Amino acid sequence: MPTYEYECQTCHERVEAVQKFSEPSLTICPLCGGELRKVFSAVGIVFKGSGFYKNDSRPSEKSPSKTSASAESTPSTPSTSTAPTPAPSPAPSATPAPTPTTKTPSTD
């Protein structure tokens, strides 16, 4: 059974009532006897089962035939560089790293 929320027009108190669809709406405030009106608000929705999320309906890997077909249908634009983009360098740490020292062989 659904839960309905009512607000009194006189004292502005809110009242919840669990009612059947076929039952008439409440009209009298149980606290002050004023007029009640239904309050409509957003309904919470819970999606249960599969098929509702982005990764539920997609294959885990792209098939080679789809990628070649999409490459043929999309006009190619000339690129200025064919080299891959370098990975960003890590941020410098707060303490400097020790500088490496090179030992020169002695001629004794």
Digit-coded pLDDT (tens) for 20-42: 989 999 999 999 999 999 999 88
Residue 68: pLDDT band (50, 70, 90) is very low
Q: What is the CATH number of the domain that holds 37?
A: 2.20.28
The structure's pTM equals 0.41
Q: Give whole-number Cα distances, 6 to 12, 33, 42, 45, 46, in Å.
A: 9, 13, 15, 21, 24
Does 6 reside within a domain?
yes
Beta strands in the chain (DSSP E): 3-8, 14-18, 36-39
Q: Cα(14)–Cα(37) distance, rounded to whole angstroms?
A: 10
Cα 72 from chain centroid (whole Å): 33
Number of structural domains found in the chain:
1
Q: What is the extent of the structural domain holding 28?
A: 1-60
Phi and psi (nearest 5°) for 71? -70, -35
Does 101 reside within a domain?
no
Residue 96 has pLDDT above 70, yes or no: no
